[in-house]
C-alpha cells in the first residue's frame, strides 16, 4: 500500500491525476445514454436508488421523489425477483458455496475433507457476521431493475470484510479485452468530518483542513458540509508507473473532485490523492443481467417491463379519474338555476321549471355519466400480469401451484423451485461467473491474509481449489438420488429376510459414504477407512478370543465328563484315552 503524505506533488501524482480524471470524463461521456435510461427506470420502479446529478450540500434529498408511481406493482414484482435470486443463489439460511479439491467429494473423515469443511464453516461465519448478505440483497435489487449492479468488498478489522453498494448514477463501469467488468470509477459526496475520518487529516486539502479546524473556534456546522470525492479502481497491469507496486494486480485511488488538491506541475500543495492503494485481487464485484456485444452495462427485466409500467400508471390514473367523475361528475343544468340554490347531497332535490317538457321523468338522477370501469380493471389486471411475467414472478410462485394438493413432498417442492431457477438460464450462470465466484475469491483472500484459514494438509498445499455453487437444482437432484438409494436399501432389507445373501450385492461402506455426501453432512460423521479398519480388526480379535475361550470351556467340560466315567479296571475314560 502506498499513501501520499508529502507536502509537494510528485510528477507521478501529476501523471496519475491526469490519467484518472481524463478516463473518468471519457467514461462519463460513454455512459450518457445509460444514465438517462436509468433515470426513467428509477422514476417508474425504484426512485430512491438512483443519483441523477452528484451535487454536494443538496438539502432536498429527503423530499418526496415518488412522483411517477401510482400503482407499485412493478416495484413489488422486482422485489420478488430479487428475493428469489437471493434465496436461490446465496441464501443466508442454506449452504450455497462448496469448496472442493479436484473431484474430491467424499464425506469420510480425512485431513482433506476436514480441512475443506472447516474452511467452509469459517467462510460462512464471515458472511453471517458481516454485512455481506445485506449487500447482496441490495445488489440483486439493483440488478433486476437497472441491469447493472456493483459491490465493493473491503477488509475490515471488526468483521473481516465490509461491503459497499454504490448507487446507480454515482459510478461508471468499463471492461477489458475479455469483456470483463474490471474498471470502476465513481463520484459521490462526503462530509468534511467523514473525509478526515476516512482518509486522515494530513492527506486532505488545505480547504478541507481549514473547515475541519474551524470546529474548535466556530460553529460545528462546518463538519456537515459536503465535497465531491472521486474514486477509481482498475487493473494495475499497464506500463505506467503511478506509485502502485507492480506486485498488486489492481490499484485504487481517491481524490477531491474539483478541489484544491488537483496537482499542478511544480506547485507546492498538499498531496494530490486522498489515498492510493494496491490490491492483489479485484476488490469490486460488478454483475450484469444481460449483455449485448461489448457493452459495459447490462439490460434488465425492468427495461422489458417499462412500457407496461408506464401504461399501468396512466391507466390507473384514468381509472381514478373515471371513478371520481362518477362519484363527483361535472354537471349540466338549466340556465334558470343560475344563482339558484341546488342540492347535490344524497337524497337532495333541486326544482327546475320546465323540466317535465324535456321528456325525462318528473324526478331523475343528476348523475347520468357511466364509465367502463370493469373493462379498465380487466385491462389493468392484464397489464399487471405482463409486468409480473417480465420479472419472472410466475416462476417463483411455487406455493400457488400446489393449492389443490396437500400431499406435496419436500423433494417435489425443491424440484419445482429448481425448475423455476432453470428458466432464468444464462442469467444464473452469469451471476455465478461475474458475481459469486469473484466475491468468494475476494473473501477467501482476505481471510487468508488475516490468518483465518487453517494450514492445508501437505498433499494439497500450493494446489488450486475448486469453487462449486450449490444451486437449488443440485440440491433437488441430490435429494432425488438419496431417495433412490433409500429405496434400494429398503428392497434389499426386505429380501434379506428370505435370502440373506442378497446383501452381498451392496457395498454398505460406499453406500453410507455416498448418502452422507448427497445430504451434505459433516465429514466427521463418517469414519476414515483407517479408523474403520482398526475398529473392525479389534472386533474380529475380540470375536476370535471369545471363540477360543468357548472352545477351551467346551474341552474342559468334556475332559471332566471323561474323568468321571468309569470304564473298569480302576480306570476312567480319560485315562483310557491317554493310554493308562
Cβ atoms of 170 and 51 within 8 Å: the answer is yes
387 CB-near residues (< 8 Å, 6+ apart): 73, 74, 77, 305, 308, 309, 312
Q: Rounded to 5 degrees, what angle do the CA atoms 91, 92, 94 make?
A: 65
Region 480-493: mean pLDDT is: 80
SS3 295: coil
User: Are residues 162 and 154 in contact, defined by beta-carbon separation less than 8 angstroms?
Assistant: yes
Mean pLDDT of 547-567: 74
Contact 261, 205 (CB under 8 A): yes
Three cell numbers written together for 143: 440488478
Fill in the DSSP letter of residue 166: P
Check pLDDT > 50 for residue 265.
no
CA 63 to chain centre: 30
Over residues 331-345, the mean pLDDT reads 70
Give phi and psi for 488, each to the nearest 5: -65, -45
Given CA atoms 133, 135, 136, 141 in this order, what sign does their dihedral have?
positive
Three-state secondary structure readout of 515-557: HHHHCCCCHHHECCHHHHHHHHHHHHHHHHHHHHHHHHHHHHH
Lowest mean pLDDT among 30-39, 417-426, 465-474, 491-500: 417-426
pLDDT tens, position by position, 149-165: 999 999 999 899 999 99
Read off the pLDDT of residues 438-476 as tens digits, 9 standing for 90 and up.
999 999 999 999 999 999 888 888 778 888 888 665 666
Cβ(45)–Cβ(145) under 8 Å?
yes
The residue among 90, 82, 152, 87 whose CA lies nearest residue 436 is: 90
Maximum distance among all Cα pairs of the chain, rounded to whole angstroms = 158
Beta-strand (E) ranges in 91-175? 97-100, 148-156, 160-164, 171-175
pTM of the entire predicted model: 0.78
Residue 168 grid coordinates: 446507480
Task: Please state, in angstroms and rounded to a whole number, the distance separating the CA atoms of residues 236 and 246.
Answer: 7
Q: How far apart are CA 492 and CA 502, in angstroms?
A: 7
Residue 231: which of 283, 278, 186 has the closest Cα?
A: 186
Chain position carrying cell 462519463: 28
* Three cell numbers written together for 567: 470304564
Amino acid at each position: 500500500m502506498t499513501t501520499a503524505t508529502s507536502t509537494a506533488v510528485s510528477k507521478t501524482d501529476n501523471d496519475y491525476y491526469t490519467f484518472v480524471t481524463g478516463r473518468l470524463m471519457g467514461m462519463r461521456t460513454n455512459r450518457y445514454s445509460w444514465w438517462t435510461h436509468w433515470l426513467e427506470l428509477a422514476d417508474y420502479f425504484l426512485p430512491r436508488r438512483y443519483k441523477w446529478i452528484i451535487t454536494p450540500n443538496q438539502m432536498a434529498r429527503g423530499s418526496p421523489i415518488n412522483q411517477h408511481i401510482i400503482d407499485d406493482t412493478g416495484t413489488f414484482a422486482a422485489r420478488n425477483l430479487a428475493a428469489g435470486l437471493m434465496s436461490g443463489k446465496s441464501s443466508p439460511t442454506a449452504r450455497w458455496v462448496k469448496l472442493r479439491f479436484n473431484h474430491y467429494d467424499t464425506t469420510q473423515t480425512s485431513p482433506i475433507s476436514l480441512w475443506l469443511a472447516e474452511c467452509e464453516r469459517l467462510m460462512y461465519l464471515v458472511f453471517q457476521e458481516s454485512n455481506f448478505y445485506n449487500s447482496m440483497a441490495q445488489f440483486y435489487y439493483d440488478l433486476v431493475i437497472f441491469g447493472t449492479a456493483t459491490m465493493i468488498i473491503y477488509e475490515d478489522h471488526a468483521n473481516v470484510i465490509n461491503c459497499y453498494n454504490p448507487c446507480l448514477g454515482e459510478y461508471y463501469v468499463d471492461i477489458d479485452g475479455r469483456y470483463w467488468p474490471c474498471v470502476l470509477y465513481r463520484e459521490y459526496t462526503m462530509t468534511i468530518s467523514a473525509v478526515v475520518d476516512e482518509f486522515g487529516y494530513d492527506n486532505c486539502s488545505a480547504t478541507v483542513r481549514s473547515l475541519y479546524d474551524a470546529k474548535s473556534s466556530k460553529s460545528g456546522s462546518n463538519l456537515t458540509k459536503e465535497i465531491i470525492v472521486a474514486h477509481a479502481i482498475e487493473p494495475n497491469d499497464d506500463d505506467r508507473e503511478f506509485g502502485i507496486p507492480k506486485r498488486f494486480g489492481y490499484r485504487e485511488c481517491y481524490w477531491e473532485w474539483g478541489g484544491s488538491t488537483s496537482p499542478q506541475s511544480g506547485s507546492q500543495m498538499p498531496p494530490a490523492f486522498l489515498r492510493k492503494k494496491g490490491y492483489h485481487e479485484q476488490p469490486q464485484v460488478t454483475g450484469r443481467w444481460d449483455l449485448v456485444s461489448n457493452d459495459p452495462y447490462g439490460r434488465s427485466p425492468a427495461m422489458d417491463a417499462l412500457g407496461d409500467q408506464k401504461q399501468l400508471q396512466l391507466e390507473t390514473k384514468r381509472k381514478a379519474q373515471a371513478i371520481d367523475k362518477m362519484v363527483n361528475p361535472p354537471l349540466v343544468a338549466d340556465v334558470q338555476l343560475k344563482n339558484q340554490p341546488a342540492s347535490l347531497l344524497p337524497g337532495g332535490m333541486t326544482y327546475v321549471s320546465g323540466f317535465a317538457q324535456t321528456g325525462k321523468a318528473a324526478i331523475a338522477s343528476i348523475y347520468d355519466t357511466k364509465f367502463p370501469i370493469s373493462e379498465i380493471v380487466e385491462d389493468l389486471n392484464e397489464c399487471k400480469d405482463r409486468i409480473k411475467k417480465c420479472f419472472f414472478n410466475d416462476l417463483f410462485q411455487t406455493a400457488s401451484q400446489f393449492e389443490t394438493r396437500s400431499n406435496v413432498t419436500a423433494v417435489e417442492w425443491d424440484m419445482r423451485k429448481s425448475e423455476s431457477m432453470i428458466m432464468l438460464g444464462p442469467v444464473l450462470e452469469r451471476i455465478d461467473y461475474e458475481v459469486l465466484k469473484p466475491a468468494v475469491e475476494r473473501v477467501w483472500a482476505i481471510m487468508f491474509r488475516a490468518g483465518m484459514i487453517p494450514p492445508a494438509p501437505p498433499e494439497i498445499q500450493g494446489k488450486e481449489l475448486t469453487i462449486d455453487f450449490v444451486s437449488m437444482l443440485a440440491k433437488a437432484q441430490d435429494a432425488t438420488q438419496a431417495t433412490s438409494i433409500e429405496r434400494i436399501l429398503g428392497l434389499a432389507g426386505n429380501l434379506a429376510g428370505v435370502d440373506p445373501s442378497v446383501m452381498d450385492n451392496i457395498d454398505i461402506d460406499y453406500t453410507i459414504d455416498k448418502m452422507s455426501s448427497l445430504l451434505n453432512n459433516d465429514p466427521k460423521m463418517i469414519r476414515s477407512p483407517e479408523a474403520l479398519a482398526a475398529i473392525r480388526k479389534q472386533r474380529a480379535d475380540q470375536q476370535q478370543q471369545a471363540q477360543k475361550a468357548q472352545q477351551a470351556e467346551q474341552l474342559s467340560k468334556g475332559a471332566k465328563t471323561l474323568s468321571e466315567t468309569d470304564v473298569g479296571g480302576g480306570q476312567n475314560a480319560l485315562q483310557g484315552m491317554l493310554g493308562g
